[in-house]
Amino acid sequence: MAVAKLGYQRNHNAHSLRRSGQRLGTIGVVHADITNPFSAAVHAAFEQVATEHDTLLLSGSAGEQPDRQDQLVEAFCARQVDGLAIIPTGDSPGPALARELARKTPIVFIDRDPAVAADVVLSDHRAGAATAVTHLLDHGHRRIGFLGSREQTSSVRERRSGFDDAMRLVDGAISTVRTHLTSIEASEAAVLELFADKGAAPTALFAAQNLAATGAVRALHRLGLSHDIALVAFDHIEVADIVNPGITTMPQNASIVGQRAAELLLDRIAGSSAAPVRHVVPVELIARGSGEIPPR
């Protein structure tokens, strides 16, 4: 159809007869999964900066579904938002997002790198994971389990790469990998399965995402192993300092990520034509007890 070929979009603001180049003071924020505590924290920091610049946010969650992400991009752009902030669901942009990239719509990507010519703000996933695993290796562990989620996203792949980087540096280190753990229940089941054969079970776990870590904690408590198996988790966990032992974590600085992403996008909306920025936010390990348990 001619409409599709021309990339036509319904303009919900046409009735306002706004002048050419006039801003509406709105940004569309597309989350991969707003139920993730990290996404919520990023949104809060992003919104604070936007509010200071008299800018409102329209937001939606793709539920980790690429098609839904593209629908949200199209819906927000039909309402003539000034720019987009996106936590992508995968590596390849859908038709609507590809069209906005071609149109030079101001866009910032958050947490995951889509490998396109646009600004991106993300944590140092690979180095952070390597630091976490090195912490376990330094405490004497040589059999370490990796608990990961969706590997179609760059952040998860980078954390897996950091895990592998650290393990390769130590002779005799043995990896046990479980991926596609997309819920607390899936992670809990995976950990229970890992320890069904006690002779081959790891002595430590690296949970590459907060939901995986929560499932691991549940499983270890069920098995009575919470004081015997070491655990380090990537991401912030609300109960990290409440459970016993406390959970050693490698938390992302969601406030800095959200703040920097908002600043970059607002600069683009204001007319910045600088080269695309890749801003990496460092992460630091917080020792609370679980990651310092020695091997049995």
Q: Each residue of 208-262: pLDDT tens digit?
A: 999 999 999 999 999 999 999 999 999 988 888 888 999 999 999 999 999 999 9
pLDDT digits (tens, 9 = 90+) for 75-102: 999 999 999 999 999 888 899 999 999 9
Quick one: pLDDT band at residue 22, thresholds 50, 70, 90? low
Instruction: State which amino acid sits at residue 118.
Output: A
Q: Is the pLDDT of residue 5 over 60?
A: no
CB 190 within 8 A of CB 202: no
Sign of the alpha-carbon dihedral angle for 100, 103, 107, 109: positive
Q: Which two tokens mark 61?
A: 């969650």
What local confidence, expressed as pLDDT, does residue 108 receive? 98
CB 268 within 8 A of CB 119: yes
Q: What is the DSSP letter of 16?
A: G
What local confidence, expressed as pLDDT, does residue 135 receive? 98
Mean pLDDT of 192-215: 93
d(CA 58, CA 39): 15
Catalogue all structural domains in the chain, each as residue range(s) with its CATH number.
24-123+253-281 (3.40.50.2300), 125-251+285-292 (3.40.50.2300)
pTM over 0.95: no
Q: How far is CA 96 from CA 3, 62, 192, 268, in A?
A: 14, 14, 42, 20
Quick one: pLDDT band at residue 115, thresholds 50, 70, 90? confident
pLDDT digits (tens, 9 = 90+) for 25-69: 999 999 999 988 899 999 999 999 999 999 999 999 999 999 999
What local confidence, expressed as pLDDT, does residue 152 receive? 76
